[in-house]
Structure 1
Amino acid sequence: MKLTGHLIIGASDVGATEGTMKALNPATNQLIELDFALGGAAEVDRAATLADEAFDAYSHTSLARRAAFLDSIADNLDAVRTELAARAALETGLPEAQLEGEAAKAATQFRQFADVVRKGRFLQLAVDPAQPDRLPRPRMDHRLQKIAIGPVAIFGASNFPISYSVAGGDTASALAAGATVILKAHNAHPGASEIQARAIRKAVQEHELPEGVFSMVRGSGNAIGEALVDHPLVQAVTFTGSERGGMALYRRAQQRPDPIPVFTEMTSVNPTFILPHALATRGAQIGDGFVERMLVNVGQACLKPAILITIEGDGFEALRAAMVKRVNEAPARTMLAPGIHASYRSGLAAMENAGARRIAEGAAPSGEWEGQSALLEVEGAHFLIETVLAHEAFGPSALLVKVRDEAELLAVARAFKGQLSAAMHLEDGDRALAHRLLPVLERRTGRIVVNAFAHPQEVTFATVHGGPFPATSDSRFTSVGMTSIERFLRPVAYQGFPDALLPEALRDANPLKLPRIVDGQ
């Protein structure tokens, strides 16, 4: 596929109106040839207008047609997988083989959501038939289904340039819900974004859908994102990134004349608790595995296990030694962008200034944007008084927190704010403590893992990628997994309708043979 650098607005390729940019290869610190167009409020308005014009027709497509469209996106992504991975590797410094796997995951998500659409359970159909003879007052016929919320603005993420980007789970779940999508591409990987956008637009055209079903815009600074959030035709926003950026969008959306939901996935340190019997039995194994998972993606993963908490006792020295060894042996690797690299270094410095001691570090960096691995250590009592130690340092570092006893371990657990995940390593002898720790973690996270690590996770119906603030802005929803479609749906009740006027899924004969709750059964 030949890259053009254009914005993708409906069926049109749109050139620059607000200047251009080039991609940076962070491994070489060299700009990559090809100018990519930057747009502004006018391009957002054109994309939003097209999305609104397309919404009624697209949201009322048959489930079969919508599912076939999602399958076609998956096929198109598979067709460009090698090219997409190569371009993404050039723009991020991540291994090409890893990115091929990410592209395969993106295609799989579209196929998974196609299956969700075909089965129709996401509609949550309910029928409460009329009861004309009910006393003291008859009941009219009531029927309910979920419909798409409207045109959606999606902000592509930087750390997963495919599966959280243009062709990521947000786009797949929004399109599955029947929402039209305006995608703000991340400037860190413009070429990879264009390849994905063209794969989606090709499917729109193959299925003769309205052109406004999908658009991709790009801009410099905050103006284009603010224009998206402010646009009166946009009805919901998703964002993956920093707490500062996510909350700026959230607050802006609440100040609109018509406030809209903003579903953010922001910050998490994914604490791991090692209980005493597990520590004594397999401390070294756990320590080595923890650091291995921490180093994935150069520590630039939202589910990176960043803080390990355990009681100093039998097995602690073995755990500590294993962690130190693994970190000391870690090579420095290129981080995704200069800004992320700078934030990582400032985050580490803040932790050390707050009293954390560096007890291990990986090989020194040789490239300008390489991240050096680090392991820091602190006592539980100090952790409890220095809140900065619980903040995320987005990169290849971890903090070992050693506590005196079970009471201090539980106090540390209570000190955490909302998290995407938490983990416990335990043996049979730890169950009493685990029962005390579990409700503390339930209040602070959307996913609790036992005897494994937070990263990676499967994309399934039971997946939860969310949690209380500041992990997300709305802990009732997940941004990953099949139930992420619920973010883009709202209920509508149809009361007293003649059968022929009802949506097909709610008619008496249930012609689509979809699961429904009828009179509570």
Structure 2
Amino acid sequence: MITGKNTIGTLNSARGTDTFKTFNPVENRENPWVFHQATKDEIDQAVQLATEAFGQYKNFSGKRKAEFLRAIADEIEEIGEDLITTYMAESGLPEGRARGERGRTMVQLRAFADLLEEGSWVEATIDVGQADKEPMPKPDIRKMLFPIGPVAVFGASNFPLAFSTAGGDTASALAAGCPVIVKGHPLHAATGELVSSAILKAAEKTNMPNGVFSNLNSSGISVGQELVQHPEIKAVGFTGSIAGGTAIYKLASTREVPIPVFAEMGSVNPVVVLPSAFEQSAHWAKQYALSITNGTGQFCTNPGLILGVKGDDFTQFIGTLGEEIAQISPASMLHPNIYKAFEKGIEVVTASGKTSLVGAYKGEAAPNFGKAKVLTVDADVFIANPALHHEVFGPYSLVVQCDSDQELEAAINALEGQLTGTLLGNSKELSEKTSIVDALKEKVGRLILNGVPTGVEVCAAMHHGGPFPSTTNAKYTSVGVSAITRWTRPVAYQNWPLELLPEALQNENPLKIHRIVDGIHTFNTI
């Protein structure tokens, strides 16, 4: 049963008078549930509980935190069909997407549990002291990662499960030892409440401290602003627009004590089509039509930009891409406001009068259903007009036609930072066109060869991040187990009594983890 209340530790609270409802974009009507926006007092209470919980939770063993994360995954699964139907009612996304995202959410939680049980993620590094070293004794110095404190996580509009209440930011922060306060996304507040209930059941079953998790409802920006500015919040995780992410980043940086914001924001994910790709021209045209419209284009890895050098083969590829796009029926977007923003974004692109249509769905569409569209423009126009570089959130892509490899490289150099960059071609071309490959590498966090950018594997080697404005810090990923390091800081112990060191730094290596001892990677004792 959906209560519409805020979750403040174990307490359900609805003190405020400001309320809102979520919206079913497929049926084009409001959902029945009424949600109470969190008040300042409720925010303060949630942060206070998180601060108190941190005092205990930061010292829990990897095994104990792993039990908590696995219990969350189990409880999410236990919700059953109510989660799927609620997800669909609030997002307009189909059943297959709902089930897939639920599975991914559980996979993420269990992957972090495995990481915790293995234990080497703390990056234990030891330089053993040498009292007889000349000309001065060498101190004994031992370093490892520790959690930084309560974390605020902003739910994402386009991933009600995998990047929201129990998504990657929450899972990685809890794994690190940081209590989490989620600022729920107003588009899927009921989905968030169901997942919050699962987290709290897991917390109770595994004896976690009260306040290790809270979920606050919000229909505007005030709750988020209060959280970011609260002195006891030590970091922020965000997935959303460039405007939203940069506003949060600026707010956090102007606090009396600034805090890090790990924001994943906009990306057009450029795709460079090299000549050998035209040997499979029809194949790639079909694959990219499907990728552009996957999830109604509402992915941060949507291929919003395709670049190539003019010629008969490229012209044929563009024509086939247009034909494929025209055949793909529209699907619901997440909300009427997102649909309107999609339409407005295309208006901005076409306002220059120098783009032309490649292909678009011409039939009728229900309200809030986004019609796919691909446009094309010459590279010199693209380079000179930064408005053409911006993400249009929805089933859309822009094809940039270049006169030469040199102009192709110039178009890439004109781009802002991106999450991904893709090359379609063969090894010979990659070795011959190194300046193009290098230019693309400078702009992105992940280089893809002969594939599509949509789809982000949850694994240790994944890097889901990139230069600004795709993220606020290109060094960190929001997908994969490496995401845990965002919520930590290193602490070095110098000349510390051996028996008082954390287990990860003790000579006997009781945790049996991988460490670096005097520059040597080892599992051995000292």
TM (normalized to structure 2)? 0.97
Q: Confirm or deny: 8 A CA contact 1:39 1:218 kept in the other structure.
A: yes
* Structure 1 match to 2:361: 362
* Structure 1 match to 2:524: none
SS at 2:21's partner residue? strand
Deviation at 1:124, TM superposition (A): 0.3
- Deviations along 1:383-438, one digit per CA (max 9) or x if unpaired, are 11111111100001111111111111111111111000000001244234442212
* Structure 1 match to 2:301: 303
AA aligned to 1:439 is D
* Structure 1 match to 2:168: 169
Within-5 A mapping of 1:480-495: 480-495=479-494
* Structure 2 match to 1:399: 398
Write the distance in 1 (CA, Å) between the matches of 2:339 and 2:149.
37
* Structure 2 match to 1:71: 70
Q: Does 1:322 align with 2:320?
A: yes
Q: Does 1:42 align with 2:41?
A: yes
* Structure 2 match to 1:200: 199
Write the distance in 2 (CA, Å) between the matches of 1:432 and 1:64.
47
State which drifts further: 259-268 or 71-80. 71-80
Write the distance in 1 (CA, Å) between the matches of 2:125 and 2:452.
39
Write the distance in 2 (CA, Å) between the matches of 1:470 and 1:58.
34
SS at 1:358's partner residue? strand
* Structure 1 match to 2:142: 143
Write the distance in 1 (CA, Å) between the matches of 2:470 and 2:80.
31
**Deviant stretches of 4+, over 6 Å:** none
Within-5 A mapping of 1:67-146: 67-146=66-145
* Structure 1 match to 2:457: 458
* Structure 2 match to 1:505: 504
Q: Does 1:51 align with 2:62?
A: no
Write the distance in 2 (CA, Å) between the matches of 1:132 and 1:254.
43
Select which of 345, 369, 384 maps to 1:347.
345
Q: Does 1:287 align with 2:304?
A: no
Q: Confirm or deny: 8 A CA contact 2:289 2:325 kept in the other structure.
A: yes
- Deviations along 1:102-142, one digit per CA (max 9) or x if unpaired, are 00110010000001111112100011122111122212221
SS at 1:150's partner residue? coil
Write the distance in 1 (CA, Å) between the matches of 2:476 and 2:199.
25
- Deviations along 1:179-233, one digit per CA (max 9) or x if unpaired, are 1100000000111101111111111111111111100001232111100000000
Residues 496 and 365 of structure 1, relative CA distance in 2, 3 Å threshold? farther
Deviation at 1:314, TM superposition (A): 4.1
Q: Does 1:243 align with 2:239?
A: no
Q: Confirm or deny: 8 A CA contact 2:262 2:471 kept in the other structure.
A: yes
Q: Confirm or deny: 8 A CA contact 1:375 1:400 kept in the other structure.
A: yes
AA aligned to 1:292 is L
State which drifts further: 55-64 or 353-362. 353-362
Write the distance in 2 (CA, Å) between the matches of 1:262 and 1:431.
36
AA aligned to 1:158 is S
Q: Confirm or deny: 8 A CA contact 1:308 1:401 kept in the other structure.
A: yes
Write the distance in 2 (CA, Å) between the matches of 1:429 and 1:77.
48
SS at 2:186's partner residue? coil
Write the distance in 1 (CA, Å) between the matches of 2:456 and 2:182.
25
Q: Does 1:158 align with 2:151?
A: no
* Structure 2 match to 1:260: 259
AA aligned to 1:244 is A
Q: Confirm or deny: 8 A CA contact 2:15 2:39 kept in the other structure.
A: no
State which drifts further: 362-371 or 245-254. 362-371
Within-5 A mapping of 1:409-424: 409-424=408-423
* Structure 2 match to 1:333: 331
Deviation at 1:326, TM superposition (A): 1.4
Deviation at 1:358, TM superposition (A): 2.1
* Structure 2 match to 1:60: 59
SS at 2:469's partner residue? coil
Write the distance in 1 (CA, Å) between the matches of 2:341 and 2:319.
28
* Structure 1 match to 2:9: 10
Write the distance in 1 (CA, Å) between the matches of 2:452 and 2:358.
22
Q: Confirm or deny: 8 A CA contact 1:277 1:429 kept in the other structure.
A: no
Write the distance in 2 (CA, Å) between the matches of 1:470 and 1:365.
36
* Structure 1 match to 2:447: 448
SS at 1:103's partner residue? helix
Write the distance in 1 (CA, Å) between the matches of 2:79 and 2:39.
29
Q: Does 1:376 align with 2:381?
A: no
Deviation at 1:88, TM superposition (A): 0.5
Q: Confirm or deny: 8 A CA contact 1:81 1:100 kept in the other structure.
A: no
Deviation at 1:81, TM superposition (A): 4.1
- Give 5+ residue unaligned stretches, structure 1: none
SS at 1:72's partner residue? helix
Within-5 A mapping of 1:183-194: 183-194=182-193
AA aligned to 2:208 is L
SS at 1:209's partner residue? coil
Residues 161 and 169 of structure 1, relative CA distance in 2, 3 Å threshold? same
Q: Give RMSD over aligned pairs.
A: 1.2
AA aligned to 2:105 is A
- Give 5+ residue unaligned stretches, structure 2: 521-526
Write the distance in 2 (CA, Å) between the matches of 1:12 and 1:520.
49
Q: Confirm or deny: 8 A CA contact 2:421 2:441 kept in the other structure.
A: no
Deviation at 1:155, TM superposition (A): 0.2
AA aligned to 1:59 is K
Q: Does 1:471 align with 2:476?
A: no
SS at 1:420's partner residue? strand
* Structure 1 match to 2:181: 182
Write the distance in 2 (CA, Å) between the matches of 1:282 and 1:218.
49
SS at 1:27's partner residue? coil
Q: Confirm or deny: 8 A CA contact 1:352 1:358 kept in the other structure.
A: no
Deviation at 1:368, TM superposition (A): 2.2
SS at 1:315's partner residue? helix
Q: Confirm or deny: 8 A CA contact 1:6 1:13 kept in the other structure.
A: yes
Write the distance in 2 (CA, Å) between the matches of 1:62 and 1:92.
37
Paired residue total: 519
- Amino-acid identity (%): 38
